[in-house]
Amino acid sequence: MIHPSYVDLMKVMNKGVEEGEEPVVSSRYSVVMATAKRARQIIAGDEPMVKVKDKQKPLSIAVDEMNQDTLRILTDEEKEEMNASENNEAEATENE
């Protein structure tokens, strides 16, 4: 068995979600896609957000980041807010 399990990772990612609210992560697919994307970012040169063990592979690092709650999956609303904020910052920079 792989540790942490998908169930464990989903619990970490959904921590803080109020009862009755839709969970951030509701499928294994979301976990796989998030960790794969993060592993590609690490391969491209992003610094790991957790302590890396000797010869640890990028995917294992991404799983550790998720398990230690340093990696988050954004909801659609959070993505929209982030994009709006980035657009406002870009406009402010252009106006200077």
Tens digit of each residue's pLDDT (9 = 90 or more) over 40-81 = 999 999 999 999 989 999 999 999 999 999 988 877 888 888
pLDDT of residue 41: 96
Distance CA(84)–CA(73), nearest Å, equals 18
Q: Is 74 within a domain?
A: yes
> Which residues span the domain enclosing 58?
6-95
- The enclosing domain of 75 has a CATH number of 3.90.940
Helix residue ranges per DSSP H, the chain: 6-13, 28-43, 58-67, 76-95
Q: Is 90 within a domain?
A: yes
The answer to pTM > 0.85 is: no
CB 49 within 8 A of CB 70: yes
16 versus 35: which is more confidently predicted? Answer: 35
CB 63 within 8 A of CB 4: yes
CB 62 within 8 A of CB 35: yes
Exposure of 51 in the CB half-sphere (CA atoms within 13 A): 1
CB 67 within 8 A of CB 8: yes
What is the tally of structural domains in the chain? Answer: 1
Confidence of residue 2 (pLDDT cuts 50, 70, 90): low
Q: Is 1 within a domain?
A: no
Q: What's the rounded mean pLDDT across residues 13-19?
A: 85
